[in-house]
Amino acid sequence: MEVRWNGEALGEVFVLPAAVVDRHIRLAGSAQLKVLLWLSRTGGGAFDADACGRAIGLSAADCTDALQYWVETGILVASGSPDSAAPAPAVPAPPQKEARPSRTEPVRAARPRAVKPQMPEVIARRENSGEFGYLLDTVSARFGRPLSPGDMETLLYLYDGAGLPAEVILMVVAYAAAEEKLNIRYIEKVALDWADKGIVTIAAAEEHLCRLEHRRDAWARVQSLCELAKTATAGAMEAAAKWLYDWRVDEGLVRLAYDRCVEKTGKFQYKYMDRILEGWHLDGVDTPEKALAGEAAAKKKTKAGKDTSMDLDAYENMVMQYVPVYRKD
């Protein structure tokens, strides 16, 4: 179907840089495009965020954020502050055919950068990497909103700077959502931690996430067994996973270790419990009954040792009474 402008309905006409379509039509969100259209229609000059918001149905804050995208990409030039931004000429770049998203791109070695990339780099990377474009689109869908320039710069930093494949970054995003911390700062923190630990493949990420799930599950069980109200530290969660998943400790033994811990220290101390459970684990004690029997045997042995010492003392005293005393006549 062919389409053309309806001259009778056009009225006034305004111009947009070709780069808006050639390079930004996929990257920019609806809010960013609406703000640019409104600003172009009103002739630029001082930016009135309130008036813009009323005209396009967004808040003034959202309008200001959307405007910043065009400033950071160089389409607009801001003089002093975002409130004085005006359209600037832009040299259109020929559109490039984007590659299909690839899930088999080779894993790059992590080379952290001191400075995050800027929007021109983001745009160029989007154009020549189908995988990176796929990453941006998927994260935007996860967020339920267009990505801000800062979001995109951070994702490129993780992708190129930290050497994380798109699928691994998306696993970090899914983890952040599960933790109810779906924001770019938390995603960056976790992703860089993974990169530092060498978690840069899907298999390594899956193994790590499985371990984290074991930690959460193990701590919930220990918390219930020991009737704990306190929030777990990372160390306590790791210890709980070791007890229940690595050593396969009987839950009754965990409770017994907690009771012994409280008897000695007056409170929950996972390091003290860990020493108790490690000793039982090394001795092959796998039930509360065996642990109690071992304690009883140890007490009996200790008592027998004390009784023997008392008997020897008494015998020594008795012998000393009959030691002959030699006197000179």
Tens of pLDDT along 90-99?
333 433 434 4
Mark whether 196 and 223 lie in a shared domain. no
- Contact call for residues 187 and 173 (beta carbons, < 8 A): yes
Model pLDDT for residues 33-67, shown as the tens digit of each residue = 888 888 887 876 788 888 888 888 888 888 888 88
Q: How far is 314 from 80, CA to CA, in rounded Å? A: 98
129-158 residues labelled b (16+ CB within 10 A) or e (exposed): bbbbbbbbebbbeebeebbbbbbbbbbbbb
- Contact call for residues 121 and 141 (beta carbons, < 8 A): no
Is 323 within the bounds of a domain? Answer: no
Q: Which two tokens stand for residue 107?
A: 């894993």
What was the pLDDT predicted at 312?
56
Is 183 within the bounds of a domain? Answer: yes
Q: Which two tokens stand for residue 110?
A: 């992590």
Q: Which range marks the domain in which residue 230 is found?
A: 207-282
Q: Tokens 């092959």 sit at which residue?
A: 284
Is 166 within the bounds of a domain? Answer: yes
Q: How far is 321 from 115, CA to CA, in rounded Å? A: 90
* Nearest 10 degrees: Cα torsion 189, 191, 196, 202: 160
Mark whether 225 and 180 lie in a shared domain. no
Is 326 within the bounds of a domain? Answer: no
Mark whether 167 and 229 lie in a shared domain. no
What was the pLDDT predicted at 73?
76
Residue 45 identity (one-letter amino acid): G
53-69 residues labelled b (16+ CB within 10 A) or e (exposed): bebbebeeebbbbbbbb
Is 268 within the bounds of a domain? Answer: yes
Mark whether 131 and 168 lie in a shared domain. yes
Is 64 within the bounds of a domain? Answer: yes
What was the pLDDT predicted at 280?
93
Is 325 within the bounds of a domain? Answer: no
What was the pLDDT predicted at 132?
93
Mark whether 182 and 215 lie in a shared domain. no
Q: What CATH number should be reported for the domain holding residue 30?
A: 1.10.10
What was the pLDDT predicted at 68?
81
- Contact call for residues 119 and 149 (beta carbons, < 8 A): yes
What was the pLDDT predicted at 38?
80
Query: Among the three residues 200, 231, 247, which one is the final residue of a domain in this structure?
Result: 200
- The secondary structure of the chain in percent helix, strand, coil, rounded to multiples of 5, reads 65, 0, 35
In the chain, which residues have pLDDT < 50?
81-114, 319
- Contact call for residues 126 and 132 (beta carbons, < 8 A): yes
Mark whether 135 and 196 lie in a shared domain. yes
Is 258 within the bounds of a domain? Answer: yes
Q: How far is 76 from 149, CA to CA, in rounded Å? A: 14
Q: How far is 248 from 294, CA to CA, in rounded Å? A: 20
What was the pLDDT predicted at 308?
54
What was the pLDDT predicted at 263?
93
List all residues 6 or more positions away from 185 whose beta carbon is below 8 Å from its beta carbon.
none
Q: How many CB atoms lie under 10 A from the CB of residue 239?
A: 21
Q: What CATH number should be reported for the domain holding residue 124?
A: 1.10.10.630
At residue 228, the 3 state secondary structure works out as coil
Q: How far is 185 from 187, CA to CA, in rounded Å? A: 5
* Nearest 10 degrees: Cα torsion 30, 36, 37, 43: 170
Number of domains the chain is built from: 3
Mark whether 145 and 192 lie in a shared domain. yes
Q: How far is 178 from 182, CA to CA, in rounded Å? A: 8
List all residues 6 or more positions away from 254 whose beta carbon is below 8 Å from its beta carbon.
222, 225, 226, 243, 244, 273, 277
Percent of the chain with pLDDT over 90: 45
- Contact call for residues 46 and 85 (beta carbons, < 8 A): no
Query: Among the three residues 154, 176, 200, which one is the final residue of a domain in this structure?
Result: 200
